[in-house]
Amino acid sequence: MVDVGSNAPDFHLKDQEGNTRSLSEFKGRWVVLYFYPKDNTPGCTKEACDFTALKPDFTRLDAIVIGVSPDKVESHQKFVERHDLDLILLSDPDKDVLRAYGAWGEKKNYGRVYEGVIRSTFIIGPDQKVRAVWRNVKVRQKRRGEEVRHADLVKKRLEELKSE
């Protein structure tokens, strides 16, 4: 299981443009790597839009945001175009990277048990070590009566890590 302090597993996956991308190409930068179930679903769309809205902040923090799902490259292309997303989205149809990060596994919904994407986010340091982990992510949650976006929590944690 990938956890804080462990080396982040490298990968070689195609992005929404069909280019092969790897984690190692971002060595020396911070990486926010998030795993999500499916393009164009309500929660996944909110999450991608939230990360896109915060892209200037992540850029200022020298971080790149990368989303991974089992969807095909063509689905990612349509998702990016439809919602004007400004992220790298990677296609993992074989679920190898999802499994390597512990983001694929047993889920339960309304009493039904099945395998699927476990919404997860990792902050990876410039040294390619995992610095923060969120599992079973809620894209938006209520805290003290206010809605809090997961992307804001990730940004805040990255700011803390950079100031350590």
Q: Which of 2, 23, 44, 118 is flagged as catalytic?
A: 44
pTM of the model: 0.94
CATH 3.40.30.10 fits 12-18+27-163, yes or no: yes
Of 18-27, 68-77, 94-103, 133-142, which gets the smallest average pLDDT? 133-142
Catalytic residue at 49? no
In the chain, where the domains are located: 12-18+27-163
Provide the pLDDT confidence category of residue 146 given band limits of 50, 70 and 90.
Answer: confident
pLDDT tens-digit series, residues 17-68: 999 999 999 999 999 999 999 999 999 999 999 999 999 999 999 999 999 9
The residue behind tokens 């902040």 is 57
Say yes or no to pLDDT of 73 above 90: yes
For residues 121-139, average pLDDT: 96
CA distance 130 to 26: 14
Q: Please, are residues 33 and 66 in contact by the beta-carbon 8 Å criterion?
A: yes
CA distance 129 to 32: 12
Say yes or no to pLDDT of 141 above 90: no
Q: Please, are residues 78 and 84 in contact by the beta-carbon 8 Å criterion?
A: no
Q: How many CB atoms lie within 10 A of CB 136?
A: 8
Of 71-80, 91-100, 135-144, which gets the smallest average pLDDT? 135-144
| β 120-124/112-117 pair status | unpaired
Residue 53: what pLDDT? Answer: 97
Q: Which amino acid is at 43?
A: G
What is the 3-state composition of the chain as percent helix, strand, coil, each rounded to the nearest 5? 30, 35, 35
